[in-house]
Amino acid sequence: MELQRYFEGFNDRDWEPEAEPDGEPLRLAIVGLGGYARDRALPAIERTARCETTVAVSGSPGKIETVASRFDVDETLDYEAFHAGEAVEAYDAVYISTPPAHHLAAAETAAEHGKHVLCEKPMDVNSDRAERMVEVCDDAGVALMVAYRLHAEPAYRRLRELIGDGFIGDPVQVHGAFSLDLLGRTEGSATDVWRIDPEVAGGGALMDLGIYPLNTARYLLDADPVAVQATTAAPDEAFDGVDEHVAFQVSFPDDAVGSFSASFNAHRDSQLKVVGTEGRITVDSAFGGLVDREVVVERGEMHAEFTGPYVDEIEEQFEYFGTRVLHGESIEPDGAHGLVDIAVADAVYESAATGARVGLDG
Question: What are the pLDDT digits (tens) for 229-273?
Answer: 999 999 999 999 999 999 999 999 999 999 999 999 999 999 999
pLDDT reported for residue 142? 98
Torsions phi, psi for 301 (to 5 deg): -85, -5
Does domain 16-148 bear CATH number 3.10.20.440? no
Q: What are residue 116's DSSP bridge partners?
A: 93
- In the chain, DSSP assigns E strands to 26-31, 51-57, 75-77, 93-96, 116-119, 144-146, 171-181, 227-233, 245-251, 257-263, 265-276, 279-284, 294-299, 302-307, 358-359
Cβ proximity of 44 and 33 under 8 Å: no
The residues spanned by each domain of the chain are: 16-148, 154-310+332-359
Question: Is pTM beyond 0.85 here?
Answer: yes
- pLDDT the model gives residue 70: 95
| Range 154-310+332-359: architecture per CATH | 2-Layer Sandwich (3.30)
Report which DSSP code applies to 334: B
Cα-only R_g, the chain: 20
Q: Is residue 40 helix, strand or coil?
A: helix
257-263 and 245-251 as β-strands: parallel, antiparallel, unpaired? antiparallel
Average pLDDT for runs of 10 along the chain of length 362 = 78 77 89 96 96 98 94 96 98 98 99 99 97 99 98 92 96 98 63 85 97 98 98 95 98 96 96 98 87 87 87 94 94 98 98 98 69
Q: What is the pLDDT of residue 188?
A: 44
Q: What tens digit of pLDDT does each residue of 20-47 get?
A: 766 799 999 999 999 999 999 999 999 9
258 neighbors 252 (Cβ within 8 angstroms): yes
**Torsion on CA atoms 169, 173, 174, 179, rounded to nearest 10:** -150
